[in-house]
């Protein structure tokens, strides 16, 4: 237990006894023993030894004891649940029998299952339920009655149609925190439209800014809209849990829960920096600018002698002077007209040409070595092969391997963020479809006969 009443981590331990904590740790130990060990490709420096009373929390994660029900598919909801699971939450992922979450078969497959699945669903349990059936809906209500968090990313109204809307779930469990991620949010004129991350990226303003001027706006190469929404959702869950702790009373022994409404497009728009105030104040509409960042100079990608590109960010005043000295242009470093960002923006084409001319005479490695010596922020454009070979990634624990059922090793990303006392951990591999169905149903009191009957009718899998 944390002794300070307002400790941020306190709400996740408050409702649970020491016996519960020991039981969670024992479940973690049993799963880890048979679930696929995770190894780092390089040793990571050990954290400072934790105080004795924090040992159990350190082993299990800061969210140990937090019960999460995940009702979602593909990316946004599942990524949020995965983040909570990485830090110790017990996540029960509910998926349809037969096919399961479509992400299981997205992109490249190994033995019939996406390797992405091993990242998105690590540390989760799988419960296969057909949510169209009343008996399955009743099971979800029973699980939600004992859960701390429920995450869903269906189109607005779907949960209500199954009798699983917030009015019903919070009436049965007033302490429940319900995260709802959708394309356009639970309210407003667009709420009923189907929404995917790529559409949200366009509506949120991002797609208009990507690509070269005058050409087709290009898509960011990953599902950034979904991921941004997921991270906003995780923030919302942690804020709601803090509020829940603050509202503990005799009438509400676990505190008061609430609904978190995250719209994909709003999560993207929240990261659009100065776009709206610039438009509101000046009528300025920022346009695509390729690899540059309009209004900040110099910062761009510069082609080098070996055909590669170096990213150079020389936009701080003192950094700019060091950059100009490095490329042999002390005249520009000392020019009063270029001392501030506004002056450099006015002559950005000239500055880009000067840096580009210098870069074109050197390889990427030579450019980066020179700029590093001059303390100018710069870097190469990494492919995943570059990442997998990079010693800094390895030293920071970001290149991990998990053992697959066939004994082979699979490279997976490590954990972010890094907590010094209560770090994330890989407790077990992503589950097979329905791997935990019977166990979860037994835990909520169903008999073997009842479980068999549900299987026979295809309600569970």
Catalytic residues: 226
Angle at 90 between CA 85 and CA 94, to 5 degrees: 90
* Helix, strand, coil in percent for the chain, rounding step 5: 40, 15, 45
Q: How far apart are CA 313 and CA 377, in angstroms?
A: 5
Q: Which residue has the tokens 């290149």?
A: 399
Pairwise CA distance, residues 240 & 242, whole Å: 5
298 prior amide bond cis, ω within 30: yes
CA distance 137 to 142: 9
Residue 320: partners with Cβ closer than 8 Å, 6 or more residues away? 298, 314, 333, 338, 344
Q: Which residue has the tokens 């429940």?
A: 176
Instruction: Tell me the C-alpha distance between 32 and 414, whole Å.
Output: 17
- Paired with 39 in beta bridges are 401
Q: Which residues lie closer than 8 Å to 134 by C-beta, 6 or more apart?
A: none
Name every residue whose Cβ is closer than 8 Å to that of residue 453 and which is 6 or more positions away in sequence.
none
Element of type H or E holding 322: helix 317-326
Nearest 5°: the CA angle 316, 207, 354 is 35
E-assigned strand segments in 74-223: 90-95, 109-110, 113-114, 124-128, 149-152, 177-182
Is residue 410 within 8 Å of residue 402, measured between CB atoms?
yes
């Amino acid at each position: 237990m944390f002794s300070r009443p307002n400790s941020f981590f306190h709400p996740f331990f408050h409702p649970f006894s020491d016996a519960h904590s020991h039981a969670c740790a024992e479940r973690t130990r049993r799963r880890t023993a048979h679930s696929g060990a995770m190894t780092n490709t390089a040793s990571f420096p050990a954290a400072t030894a934790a105080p004795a009373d924090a040992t159990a929390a350190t082993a299990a994660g800061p969210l140990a004891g937090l019960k999460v029900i995940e009702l979602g598919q593909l990316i946004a909801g599942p990524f949020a649940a995965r983040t909570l699971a990485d830090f110790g939450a017990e996540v029960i992922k509910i998926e349809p029998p037969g096919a399961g979450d479509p992400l299981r078969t997205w992109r490249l497959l190994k033995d019939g299952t996406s390797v992405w699945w091993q990242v998105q669903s690590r540390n989760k349990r799988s419960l296969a339920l057909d949510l169209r059936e009343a008996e399955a809906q009743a099971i979800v209500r029973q699980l939600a009655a004992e859960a701390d968090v429920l995450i869903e990313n269906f189109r607005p109204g779907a949960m209500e149609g199954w009798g699983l809307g917030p009015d019903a779930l919070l009436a049965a469990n007033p302490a429940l925190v319900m995260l709802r991620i959708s394309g356009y949010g639970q309210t407003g004129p667009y709420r009923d439209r189907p929404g995917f991350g790529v559409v949200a990226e366009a509506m949120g303003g991002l797609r208009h800014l990507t690509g070269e001027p005058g050409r087709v706006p290009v898509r960011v190469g990953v599902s950034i809209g979904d991921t941004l929404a997921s991270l906003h959702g995780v923030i919302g869950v942690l804020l709601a849990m803090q509020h829940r702790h603050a509202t503990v009373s005799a009438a509400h022994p676990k505190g008061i829960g609430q609904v978190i409404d995250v719209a994909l497009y709003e999560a993207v728009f929240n990261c659009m920096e100065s776009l709206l105030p610039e438009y509101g104040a000046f009528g300025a509409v920022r346009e695509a600018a390729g690899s540059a960042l309009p209004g900040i100079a110099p910062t761009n990608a510069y082609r080098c002698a070996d055909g590669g590109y170096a990213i150079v960010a020389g936009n701080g005043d003192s950094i700019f002077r060091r950059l100009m000295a490095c490329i042999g242009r002390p005249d520009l470093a000392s020019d009063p007209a270029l001392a501030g960002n506004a002056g450099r923006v006015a002559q950005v084409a000239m500055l880009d040409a000067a840096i580009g001319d210098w870069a074109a005479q050197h390889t990427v490695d030579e450019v980066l070595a020179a700029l590093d010596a001059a303390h100018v922020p710069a870097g190469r454009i990494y492919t995943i092969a570059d990442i997998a070979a990079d010693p800094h990634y390895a030293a920071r624990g970001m290149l991990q391997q998990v053992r697959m059922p066939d004994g082979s090793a699979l490279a997976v990303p490590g954990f972010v963020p890094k907590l010094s006392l209560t770090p994330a951990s890989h407790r077990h591999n992503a589950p097979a479809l329905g791997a935990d169905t019977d166990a979860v149903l037994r835990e909520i009191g169903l008999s073997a006969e009842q479980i068999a009957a549900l299987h026979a009718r295809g309600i569970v899998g």
